[in-house]
Amino acid sequence: MDFATLIGLALGVGLIGYAVVGVSAALPQGVMTFVDVQSLMIVLGGTIAATAIAFPVKEVLSLYKNLTAIFSAEREKDRDTLLEVVDLAAVARKGTAELEKALGGVKNLFLKDGLQLIVDGLPEEDIRNIMETRVTNREVREDAEANVFKTMGTLSPAFGMVGTLVGLVAMLFAMGAESSGDDTIDPAAKLGQAMGVALITTFYGALFANLLFNPIAAKLRSRIEKRNVSQYMIIEGVVMLKNRKHPILVKEFLNSYLPPKDRVYET
Amino acid sequence: MDFATLIGLALGVGLIGYAVVGVSAALPQGVMTFVDVQSLMIVLGGTIAATAIAFPVKEVLSLYKNLTAIFSAEREKDRDTLLEVVDLAAVARKGTAELEKALGGVKNLFLKDGLQLIVDGLPEEDIRNIMETRVTNREVREDAEANVFKTMGTLSPAFGMVGTLVGLVAMLFAMGAESSGDDTIDPAAKLGQAMGVALITTFYGALFANLLFNPIAAKLRSRIEKRNVSQYMIIEGVVMLKNRKHPILVKEFLNSYLPPKDRVYET
Amino acid sequence: MDFATLIGLALGVGLIGYAVVGVSAALPQGVMTFVDVQSLMIVLGGTIAATAIAFPVKEVLSLYKNLTAIFSAEREKDRDTLLEVVDLAAVARKGTAELEKALGGVKNLFLKDGLQLIVDGLPEEDIRNIMETRVTNREVREDAEANVFKTMGTLSPAFGMVGTLVGLVAMLFAMGAESSGDDTIDPAAKLGQAMGVALITTFYGALFANLLFNPIAAKLRSRIEKRNVSQYMIIEGVVMLKNRKHPILVKEFLNSYLPPKDRVYET
Amino acid sequence: MDFATLIGLALGVGLIGYAVVGVSAALPQGVMTFVDVQSLMIVLGGTIAATAIAFPVKEVLSLYKNLTAIFSAEREKDRDTLLEVVDLAAVARKGTAELEKALGGVKNLFLKDGLQLIVDGLPEEDIRNIMETRVTNREVREDAEANVFKTMGTLSPAFGMVGTLVGLVAMLFAMGAESSGDDTIDPAAKLGQAMGVALITTFYGALFANLLFNPIAAKLRSRIEKRNVSQYMIIEGVVMLKNRKHPILVKEFLNSYLPPKDRVYET
Amino acid sequence: MDFATLIGLALGVGLIGYAVVGVSAALPQGVMTFVDVQSLMIVLGGTIAATAIAFPVKEVLSLYKNLTAIFSAEREKDRDTLLEVVDLAAVARKGTAELEKALGGVKNLFLKDGLQLIVDGLPEEDIRNIMETRVTNREVREDAEANVFKTMGTLSPAFGMVGTLVGLVAMLFAMGAESSGDDTIDPAAKLGQAMGVALITTFYGALFANLLFNPIAAKLRSRIEKRNVSQYMIIEGVVMLKNRKHPILVKEFLNSYLPPKDRVYET
């Protein structure tokens, strides 16, 4: 579990919820004043509809996958990967046959694929090319997915405004139409309520964008960059293993991918 | 048919339309309150006019072509292209004459052009140069076309605002001019109605931008990037065919352009 | 004449003008309500003043040159240039002396300068360097000029807002000052009119930015990119001529700079 | 201590505080009018919550570290580092053994690590690779941290608006609900106060973003760039030491990283 | 003197000033209505305070230097520099000793430093490296300084809004508090005046940003780019002098850095 996401979400929903409950205590419908299904439909529905137009089906369907990914912690740590590569460097110096045997125990899939290329006997240049192409294309795909949330983060306030405009136009016309009708209900009261309803879509739009879509897009983007660093570290490691470099040199080199306090100084 | 686009559009129009019908039920003119030809003329007309100034004729005319493209699904899949290239790799190893015979059956035009360059006997460097120049210039052209929609997405809310300003100014002056006239009609009713009409252009501008222009621009852009990946994969493939690489190596290399679950492990 | 620009401008002015005339029909001053010299001075004057601060004199003076350029069509077509280069490729193979004779008939100045470098006997690398430097610096200069319009496109709504703020502040103070004066004129009427005048600057700012400055900046930018493609095509062509490549190869290579339907398949 | 930060903060808080105290002098609750715990909770709480969702735990926790860093001055000056490298250049020419002895006195950690690589006998290319990888990854990490503040700078006005919307909606509904209740309190007074409270969140959001989060993000970013220049200077220096270049040449080269007035002309 | 800056500033201040005087003629305090020291303090003070937090002391202090630079014209012209380099090319062919004698007469400092490197006998590659590093670092430093103004251009409207919010909140609370007090003064008058004062900060913020900070940032940026072109031209020239190229070739090459009409065709 990624507790930061969870705590953040709980905190945000809690705080805004508390404020909403607080200000709506004196209202006749209480907190239900802020729950309006039609407004929700315009904002969420409009956002999803425009997103469906904006992206290929495959990326829209990645929404759910990414939502769950956001709540689960990253499994692997760069430091562990580094230690694994350094250990394998000692094995690789004994020969490709030894490396092949060790292959079964490698957990990181990207590292495993890279080692397989060494075992297959490809030259250094090809190994680097294949692995870098893989990283680039992984990034292109993941960026496209993070973009779905980013787009939702701009669309959601826009549809919030669309909803408010619909409400305002209706209210303004009603103001004209009904002012000559019966006056059992206070017109100011009606006006206030109509405008309140109209503003709820803007509130929904701003809330979804800033508490959900934008932060999720940011987290996906930050994971992509973190993964890039890990994979480039692995590529350098695999190339060094291919060249049978000494484990100490491998460690020294890969250390430069880690923040100072995570660096490994003894094996 | 690209069903995502269709479903998205239907969903968006449906939801907003439902909301509009809902709120306008009590109004004297019903849903026709939200239909205002003059407002439509300012927003759509202004947007198209400014777009005509902003882009060369050729790109403006590409609008229609791209609109239909948005609704039709992409024909080719990267996985099929990969399989085709791997099959051709076996042919290419038999000699250029064999490759020329196979040329007729190749469906992907970009791949076909690339193979023709092999058959013509051009050196590797020239093949790569010609093909990469083609990709770059295709991207420049397609970007210019996607840009037309992106520009319309910024112009449309701007002209929405221009229309609202025209309406507001007229209303404010009318307020001054008529306040000393006859008072058979309630001035508040008039004011409301005039302001309602003024806001409709803003509503149109926001709706067109966020349900049409921006999502379409995003989809065109995402297709451009998808096509780039495909074409760079084909370039790598053609160069490997030129060098008569083994089909297994070709497969291994081109696999790095595909997402893990699409990769081909057996031919 | 670039008819797209002309038609766009006529359409835009026509539509907005029609709307303005329509809504102002009932007003006492008619369409003159929307003509306010002082507002025009704040918006256009402020924009020009800030532009004069923001750019060197030379670039500000390029405004007029670029405005006329926008209305004149591009003279040369890439397809014609390609055919010219292919024809010259046959000449160049006969020797530098023949090429020198053909030089007089070359219309494209950039191509002519490039051929002169061949005639002068410069090595390939120098020719490429000189020509690419020329393209880069032409782009830097033209970008700076397109930027003048882009900046005016952001400044003009800003000064529109400045004007509106001036009007609003004055109106609000007047509201306080005069409310205890004589009341022969309806205060609501006065308020409306004052606010109407204040909003006119915002209207001017939005209109100039979205119907003039931004579209012109976009068109200049799109021409710069089109010219880049043409000039890079010419550079490749000149280098191939220098190396006395066969016209068919030249055609094949330069074709990759053109969209598929413009490509030349027979000479 | 970084006095600029301190003075800036004191000046900003002082001026805004003075203005707030000034305008609230006549209000019944005085300056406490502008202190509203619930508004603070929505703005700061919402911002922190969304930030926790948007970033990995580690980067959120870096907030505190960076806040203190902002207030402490940069320790090292590029000019001193240059002088140190030039001195070491004389030592390095005497041999690696001499350099190793001098290592203890080197204060700059990045320079020390680089010199260690020379002492370890790594080839020039590896030294450059390792050191540049370290700079790149340091920049990636620090950018991620500066991004936390930049994101808070966009979230904080957004949650300010969310809070204002909550307040407005509640106010508008209350307007409807209570208008038929008892009228001992002036409704205009109530309306004014409710709207005042609603606007306070927008005020908080704008203030935090523009006086705290955005400036801090800018300062972190400017430090990152300054550190890049320093470290690239050190890399060039270490590589020149590895090649046993003459101290005068080292000085000449490293001088190009300094502004003219900081350059060292005599050792 | 850079007359464009001066004329622009005079024109801008004049036009806005004329408009302000015009609209405030009927107000009791005349043009002084728009002069409000407290508003000025919030906007300018807040902007300067946040800038002090955002940038290192050195860059904030560069403000004054850059302000004066904006008003002084650029001294050197690329065409003159080109002619000077071409003249020196003839000297350089006679030998380094001759070049050293000519060094005293060179006015452009960057060119002089480059020639000194030739005289010092450094190899071509080192000369290019040193000079390019100098250009890059000059650009980084000048960008940081231009950034100060750009940041002030975003901060100033933000603090304008902060001031307006402070004013509005105070006004709204006052509306509640005083409505039950004595009514010798018309409440609408009070409301109008209070809101007018509140809006003045927004006016100041928009004016400073769009008439001062943003244009100055743009001009600094455009000078940086102009200086880059000049210095890259000088680097090419110095490298050609190092290689003792013929003055005609030097002229031909450097001409590509100039706009067509400035090019030198006879020496």
- D252 Cβ contact list (under 8 Å, min separation 6): E117, E120, E130
pLDDT score recorded for residue A65? 81
pLDDT score recorded for residue E63? 78
Kindly report, residue by residue over D19-50, the tens digit of the pLDDT: 888 888 878 888 888 888 889 999 999 999 99
Residue of chain D whose alpha carbon sits nearest to that of A6: D53
Q: Is C250 on the interface with B (CB under 8 A)?
A: no
Q: In angstroms, what separates the C-alpha of C164 from chain E's closest C-alpha?
A: 9
pLDDT score recorded for residue D50? 93
Q: Is A207 on the interface with D (CB under 8 A)?
A: yes
Rounded to an integer, what distance in angstroms lies between the CA atom of residue D258 and that of residue D261?
A: 8
pLDDT score recorded for residue B187? 66
Asked if D touches B (at least 3 Cβ pairs < 8 angstroms), the answer reads no
Whether E179 shows a pLDDT value over 70: the answer reads no
Residue of chain C whose alpha carbon sits nearest to that of E257: C137
Size of interface A-B (CB pairs under 8 A): 177
Residues on chain E touching D2 (C-beta within 8 angstroms): 56-57
Residue of chain E whose alpha carbon sits nearest to that of C128: E253
**Among candidates E199, E223, E226 on the partner chain, residue whose Cβ is nearest the Cβ of C168:** E199
User: pLDDT exceeding 70 applies to what percent of chain B?
Assistant: 93
Report residue C23's pLDDT band, with 50, 70 and 90 as the boundaries: confident
Residue, of D174 and B207, whose pLDDT is higher: B207
Could you tell me which chains touch chain B, where touching means 3 or more CB pairs under 8 A?
A: A, C
Residues on chain C touching E74 (C-beta within 8 angstroms): 56
pLDDT score recorded for residue A171? 87
Q: In angstroms, what separates the C-alpha of C169 from chain E's closest C-alpha?
A: 5
Residue of chain B whose alpha carbon sits nearest to that of C72: B56
Residue C114: both structure tokens together: 């490039």
Residue of chain C whose alpha carbon sits nearest to that of B128: C253
Interface contact B133-C257, CB threshold 8 A: yes
Could you tell me if A217 and A153 are in contact, meaning their C-beta atoms sit under 8 angstroms apart? yes
Residues on chain B touching A180 (C-beta within 8 angstroms): 186, 189
CB-count burial class (<10 Å; 0-12, 13-18, 19+) for C213? buried
> Which ranges constitute the DSSP H helices of chain C?
3-24, 37-40, 46-54, 57-71, 78-93, 96-102, 109-119, 124-178, 187-207, 214-242, 247-255
Kindly report, residue by residue over B178-194, the tens digit of the pLDDT: 554 445 556 667 777 88
Whether E150 shows a pLDDT value over 70: the answer reads yes
Whether B177 shows a pLDDT value over 70: the answer reads no
pLDDT score recorded for residue E132? 96
Could you tell me if D220 and D229 are in contact, meaning their C-beta atoms sit under 8 angstroms apart? no
**Among candidates A12, A203, A218 on the partner chain, residue whose Cβ is nearest the Cβ of D151:** A218
For residue B130, which of C239, C89, C249 has the smallest C-alpha distance?
C249
Alpha-carbon radius of gyration of chain B: 28
Number of other residues whose CB lies within 10 A of the CB of residue E65: 10
Asked if E touches B (at least 3 Cβ pairs < 8 angstroms), the answer reads no
Kindly report, residue by residue over C167-200, the tens digit of the pLDDT: 999 888 887 665 544 455 566 677 778 888 899 9
Could you tell me which chains touch chain D, where touching means 3 or more CB pairs under 8 A?
A: A, E
Residues 74-133 of C with CB under 8 A from B: 74
CB-count burial class (<10 Å; 0-12, 13-18, 19+) for B72? exposed
Residue, of A72 and E167, whose pLDDT is higher: E167
Rounded to an integer, what distance in angstroms lies between the CA atom of residue D179 and that of residue D185?
A: 11
Residues on chain E touching D256 (C-beta within 8 angstroms): 130-131, 133-134, 137
DSSP structure class, residue A213: I
Virtual torsion, Cα B106, B109, B111, B112, nearest 10 deg: 60
Report residue E151's pLDDT band, with 50, 70 and 90 as the boundaries: very high
Q: Find where tokens 């205590």 sit.
A: A25
Whether C230 shows a pLDDT value over 90: the answer reads yes
Residues 157-196 of A with CB under 8 A from B: 158-159, 161-163, 165-177, 179-180
Residue C218: both structure tokens together: 């976009």
Q: Is B138 on the interface with A (CB under 8 A)?
A: no
Interface contact C210-B46, CB threshold 8 A: yes
pTM of this prediction? 0.90
Q: In angstroms, what separates the C-alpha of C123 from chain E's closest C-alpha?
A: 12
pLDDT score recorded for residue A19? 85
Residue, of D176 and E89, whose pLDDT is higher: E89
Calculate the average pLDDT of chain E: 87
Mean pLDDT on E139-161? 93
Calculate the average pLDDT of chain D: 87
Whether D256 shows a pLDDT value over 60: the answer reads yes
Kindly report, residue by residue over A145-161, the tens digit of the pLDDT: 899 999 999 999 999 99
Residue E249's alpha-carbon distances to C116, C203, E87, in angstroms, are: 13, 56, 12
Kindly report, residue by residue over E46-76, the tens digit of the pLDDT: 999 999 898 887 777 777 887 787 777 766 6
Calculate the average pLDDT of chain B: 87
Q: In angstroms, what separates the C-alpha of B150 from chain C's closest C-alpha?
A: 12
Kindly report, residue by residue over C106-140, the tens digit of the pLDDT: 988 999 999 999 999 999 999 999 999 999 999 99
Report residue B68's pLDDT band, with 50, 70 and 90 as the boundaries: confident
Whether A248 shows a pLDDT value over 70: the answer reads yes
Q: In angstroms, what separates the C-alpha of E224 from chain D's closest C-alpha?
A: 15
Mean pLDDT on D115-142? 93
Whether D199 shows a pLDDT value over 90: the answer reads yes
Could you tell me if A221 and A56 are in contact, meaning their C-beta atoms sit under 8 angstroms apart? no
Report residue A63's pLDDT band, with 50, 70 and 90 as the boundaries: confident
A79-83, C148-152, E17-21, range with the lowest pLDDT:
E17-21
Axis-axis angle for helices D247-255, D78-92 (nearest 10) = 160
HSE at residue D257, side-chain half, CA atoms within 13 A, is 24
Rounded to an integer, what distance in angstroms lies between the CA atom of residue A84 and that of residue A78?
A: 10
Residues 52-71 of D with CB under 8 A from A: 52-57, 59-60
Whether E178 shows a pLDDT value over 70: the answer reads no
* Prediction ipTM score: 0.87
Could you tell me if B241 and B99 are in contact, meaning their C-beta atoms sit under 8 angstroms apart? yes
Interface contact C11-B45, CB threshold 8 A: yes
- C79 Cβ contact list (under 8 Å, min separation 6): C258, C262, C264
Kindly report, residue by residue over B129-169, the tens digit of the pLDDT: 999 999 999 999 899 889 999 999 999 999 999 999 999 99
- C77 Cβ contact list (under 8 Å, min separation 6): none
Candidates A110, A141, A150, A172, partner chain B, best to mutate (most B CBs within 10 A): A172
pLDDT score recorded for residue C28? 80
**Among candidates D56, D137, D158 on the partner chain, residue whose Cβ is nearest the Cβ of A206:** D158
Residue B121's alpha-carbon distances to B50, B145, B158, in angstroms, are: 49, 35, 55
Residue of chain E whose alpha carbon sits nearest to that of C130: E253
**Among candidates A131, A159, A172 on the partner chain, residue whose Cβ is nearest the Cβ of B210:** A159
Residue of chain D whose alpha carbon sits nearest to that of E39: D19
**Among candidates C50, C140, C165 on the partner chain, residue whose Cβ is nearest the Cβ of E225:** C140
Interface contact D256-E130, CB threshold 8 A: yes
Is the Cα dihedral B155, B161, B166, B169 positive or negative?
Answer: negative
- B256 Cβ contact list (under 8 Å, min separation 6): A130, A131, A133, A134, A137
Kindly report, residue by residue over D52-103, the tens digit of the pLDDT: 898 887 777 777 887 887 777 766 688 999 999 999 999 999 989 999 999 9
pLDDT score recorded for residue B266? 67
Axis-axis angle for helices A124-178, A109-119 (nearest 10) = 150
Whether A176 shows a pLDDT value over 70: the answer reads no
Mean pLDDT on B213-229? 91
CB-count burial class (<10 Å; 0-12, 13-18, 19+) for E255? buried
Residue B260 is which amino acid? P
Rounded to an integer, what distance in angstroms lies between the CA atom of residue E173 and that of residue E159?
A: 21
Whether C60 shows a pLDDT value over 90: the answer reads no
Report residue E185's pLDDT band, with 50, 70 and 90 as the boundaries: low
pLDDT score recorded for residue E186? 63
Number of other residues whose CB lies within 10 A of the CB of residue D111: 25
Whether B105 shows a pLDDT value over 70: the answer reads yes
Residues on chain B touching A41 (C-beta within 8 angstroms): 15, 18-19
Report residue C91's pLDDT band, with 50, 70 and 90 as the boundaries: very high
Kindly report, residue by residue over B33-59, the tens digit of the pLDDT: 888 888 998 999 999 999 989 888 777
DSSP structure class, residue A104: G
Residue C151: both structure tokens together: 């900046």
